């Protein structure tokens, strides 16, 4: 799978990556910025996500949100935006002949939001209902609680959507200041992938972004890693299932061991042949979903499992899952398991970047995070190089009591699992 990847830097410092796909009938473009909840102050927690919403609420050229929606939908576009801990992204996927129209709309939203006060006050209600929605979806809520458990009262432990009381108080001036501190050329990445004609694209983007003011980027605070014993956080909610995440502190996304961690996680909970799936679902009959995965950021990370389980079997599931983590330390994985996990990861990865939108995100995120751009072949080579001994060594380093964390949503008050939360 060879891609002709074109990497450029515009004269003002904006990073550009273009991936032509001959024969593809669609093209995706995305604008990313290094702005997310980890860049926020506590009194403005949630402003990154709120600003993402406000960029859809009107520009100088398109003063009403309905104009933006009508133009994009008139192109037949799939479009949206998203906010995470370390970045925000705006994108549209269109048929090739509509690419330049979509480029004009998305870049206009990014560069020229008017942040109308009336729209701002109205959108507060929308944001609060989004927060309420997440509160009502335990599988969506439990990762947030897990981050709180790991990192506590610091940006890495705060909600991306923020708190309702903070959302209610945000002003137009707050948005203007925050945007000037983060939406700057040095923190911006443009990614494009698909079958459109990209001739003169660099020149066009130079023109579009020529008026973007340069500014010094306000950096995020480093994450404090403070933990000396297992931690748990139990959130009460009447529910038919208990949803939980359990896992261990790891390392950042630039660590060379990340490929070993990927393979380790796949063996643990990467599919229906994984150890946790077999143990928790097939043998205990205690869950419908169960999986394991790494989540790595620029300066910290973790590996965790998640599951939605029968209340009565929760303690048995926690104990059995910890036994599987511990087993990774005590035994070398078999040759068959190792090869299956590698090919599962590589196969899923190759399938995941078939489309223009996924390819745009794949190369765009690598460029944004400044960790180097890896081709799919390079990724596959790194994964295939992982050995059983590497996995056991990493498991012994990571799966230790003082790095163990449990977050749980279910019908429990004054409940603790500390007696079994040990490895």
pLDDT (0 to 100) of residue 40: 98
pLDDT (0 to 100) of residue 161: 97
Nearest residue to 267 (alpha-carbon basis) of 392, 179, 385: 392
Tokens of 346: 């590589």
The whole-angstrom separation of Cα 363 and Cα 89 is: 13
Q: Which residues pair with 242 in a beta bridge?
A: 309
Nearest residue to 2 (alpha-carbon basis) of 261, 338, 350: 350
CA distances from 132 to 38, 137, 240, 328 (A): 22, 9, 19, 39
Tokens of 53: 């919403």
The sheet with strand 6-9 has its strands ordered as 6-9, 15-20, 188-194, 26-33, 88-95, 78-83
Tell me whether domains 6-208 and 231-410 share a fold.
yes
Cβ count within 10 A of residue 118: 8
The whole-angstrom separation of Cα 86 and Cα 94 is: 27
Cβ count within 10 A of residue 125: 11
Tokens of 339: 């090869």
Residue showing tokens 């995440």: 245
What 3-state DSSP class applies to 8? strand
The whole-angstrom separation of Cα 59 and Cα 75 is: 19
Q: Are 12 and 211 in contact (CB under 8 A)?
A: no
The whole-angstrom separation of Cα 388 and Cα 423 is: 21
User: Residues 336-342: contacts with CB within 8 Å, 24+ apart?
Assistant: 337/267, 338/263, 338/267, 338/386, 338/387, 338/388, 338/391, 340/273, 341/263, 341/266, 341/267, 341/270, 342/263, 342/383, 342/384, 342/386
Nearest residue to 403 (alpha-carbon basis) of 324, 327, 332, 322: 322
pLDDT (0 to 100) of residue 2: 77
> pTM above the 0.85 mark?
yes
Nearest residue to 128 (alpha-carbon basis) of 97, 166, 177: 166
The distance in angstroms from the start CA to the end CA of the chain is: 42
The CATH architecture that domain 6-208 belongs to is 2-Layer Sandwich (3.30)
The whole-angstrom separation of Cα 138 and Cα 309 is: 12
Q: Are 277 and 359 in contact (CB under 8 A)?
A: no
Nearest residue to 360 (alpha-carbon basis) of 10, 42, 80, 46: 80
What 3-state DSSP class applies to 404? strand
| pLDDT tens for each residue of the chain, 423 residues long | 779 999 999 999 999 999 999 999 999 999 999 999 999 999 999 999 999 999 999 999 999 999 999 999 999 999 999 999 999 999 999 999 999 999 999 999 999 999 999 999 999 999 999 999 999 999 999 999 999 999 999 999 999 999 999 999 999 999 999 999 999 999 999 999 999 999 999 999 999 999 998 889 999 999 999 999 999 999 999 999 999 999 999 999 999 999 999 999 999 999 999 999 999 999 999 999 999 999 999 999 999 999 999 999 999 999 999 999 999 999 999 999 999 999 999 999 999 999 999 999 999 999 999 999 999 999 999 999 999 999 999 999 999 999 999 999 999 999 999 999 999
Tokens of 382: 């790194």
pLDDT (0 to 100) of residue 168: 97
The whole-angstrom separation of Cα 386 and Cα 379 is: 11
pLDDT (0 to 100) of residue 213: 85
The full set of domain ranges for the chain reads 6-208, 231-410
The CATH architecture that domain 231-410 belongs to is 2-Layer Sandwich (3.30)
The whole-angstrom separation of Cα 355 and Cα 24 is: 8
């Amino acid at each position: 799978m060879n891609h002709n990847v074109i990497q450029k830097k515009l004269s003002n410092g904006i990073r550009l990556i273009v991936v032509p796909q001959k024969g593809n009938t669609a093209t995706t473009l995305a604008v990313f910025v290094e702005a997310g909840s980890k860049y926020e102050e506590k009194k403005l927690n949630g402003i990154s996500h709120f600003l993402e919403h406000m960029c859809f609420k009107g520009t100088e050229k398109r003063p009403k949100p309905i104009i933006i929606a009508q133009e994009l939908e008139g192109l037949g576009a799939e479009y949206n935006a998203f906010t995470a801990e370390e970045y925000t992204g705006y994108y549209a996927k269109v048929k090739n002949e509509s690419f330049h129209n979509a480029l004009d709309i998305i870049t206009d939203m990014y560069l020229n939001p008017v942040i109308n006060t009336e729209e701002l006050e109205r959108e507060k209600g929308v944001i609060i209902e989004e927060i309420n929605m997440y509160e009502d979806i335990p599988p969506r809520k439990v990762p947030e609680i897990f981050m709180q458990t790991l990192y506590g009262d610091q940006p890495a432990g705060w909600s991306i959507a923020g708190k309702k009381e903070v959302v209610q108080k945000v002003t137009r001036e707050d948005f203007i200041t925050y945007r000037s501190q983060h939406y700057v050329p040095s923190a911006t990445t443009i990614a494009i992938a698909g079958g459109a004609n990209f001739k003169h694209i660099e020149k066009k983007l130079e023109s579009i972004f020529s008026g973007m003011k340069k500014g010094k980027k306000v950096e995020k605070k480093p994450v404090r890693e403070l933990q000396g014993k297992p931690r748990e956080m139990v959130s009460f909610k009447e529910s038919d299932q208990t949803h939980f995440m359990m896992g261990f502190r790891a390392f950042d996304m630039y660590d060379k061991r990340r490929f070993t961690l990927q393979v380790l996680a796949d063996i643990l909970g990467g599919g229906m042949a994984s150890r946790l799936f077999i143990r928790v679902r097939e043998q205990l009959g205690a869950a419908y979903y169960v999986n394991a995965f790494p989540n790595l950021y620029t300066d910290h990370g973790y590996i965790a499992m998640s599951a939605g389980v029968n209340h009565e079997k929760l303690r048995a599931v926690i104990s059995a899952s910890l036994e599987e983590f511990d087993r990774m330390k005590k035994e070398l994985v078999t040759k068959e398991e190792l090869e299956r996990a590698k090919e599962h990861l590589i196969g899923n990865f190759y399938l995941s970047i078939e489309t223009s939108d996924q390819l745009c995100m794949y190369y765009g995120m690598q460029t944004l995070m400044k960790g180097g751009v890896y081709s799919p072949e390079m990724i596959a080579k790194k994964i295939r190089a992982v050995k059983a001994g590497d996995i056991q060594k990493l498991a012994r380093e990571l799966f230790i009591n003082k790095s163990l964390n449990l977050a749980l949503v279910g019908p429990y008050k004054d409940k603790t699992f500390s007696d079994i939360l040990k490895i």
